[in-house]
Amino acid sequence: MAVSIEDVKKLRKQTGAGIMDCKAALEEADGDLGEAVATLRKKGIQVAAKRDAKQATEGVVYAYIHAGEKIGVLAEVNCETDFVARTEEFGTFAKEVAMQVAAQQPTWVAPEDVPEEALTREREILTEQALAEGKPDHIVAKMVEGRLKKFYEQHCLMNQPYIRDDSITIADLLNELVAKMGEKLLVRRFVRYQVGEELD
Q: Please tell me the distance from the alpha carbon of residue 194 to that of residue 73, in angstroms, as a whole number.
A: 9
| For range 43-59, the mean pLDDT | 69
**In this model, does residue 156 exceed pLDDT 90?**
yes
Task: Please give the pLDDT value at position 105.
Answer: 95
Could you read off the pLDDT of 68-83 as tens digits, one per residue?
A: 899 999 999 999 999 9
- Nearest Cα neighbor of 99 from 70, 73, 61, 68 is 73
- First vs last C-alpha separation in the chain: 60
Top-level class of domain 115-154: mainly alpha
Assign 47 a pLDDT band (cuts: 50, 70, 90).
low
**CATH 3.40.50.300 applies to domain 58-110+156-194:** no
Task: Please give the pLDDT value at position 51.
Answer: 57
Task: Please give the pLDDT value at position 1.
Answer: 61
Going by the DSSP 8-state scheme, the letter that residue 156 receives in this structure is: B
Q: Please tell me the distance from the alpha carbon of residue 144 to that of residue 176, in angstroms, as a whole number.
A: 31
Residue 165, classed as helix, strand or coil, is: strand
How far is the CA of 185 from the CAs of 26, 93, 198, in angstroms? 25, 10, 33
Domain range summary for the chain, segments of one domain joined by +: 5-50, 58-110+156-194, 115-154
Task: Please give the pLDDT value at position 133.
Answer: 83
Tell me whether the CATH fold assigned to 58-110+156-194 matches the one assigned to 115-154.
Answer: no
How far is the CA of 20 from the CAs of 6, 97, 194, in angstroms? 13, 28, 45
Q: Which percentage of the chain shows pLDDT scores above 90?
A: 46
Q: Would you list the DSSP string of 74-133?
A: EEEEEES-HHHHTSHHHHHHHHHHHHHHHHH--SBSSGGGS-HHHHHHHHHHHHHHHHHT
Pick the CATH number of 5-50 from 1.10.8.10, 3.40.50.970, 1.50.10.20, 1.20.1250.20: 1.10.8.10
**In this model, does residue 11 exceed pLDDT 60?**
yes
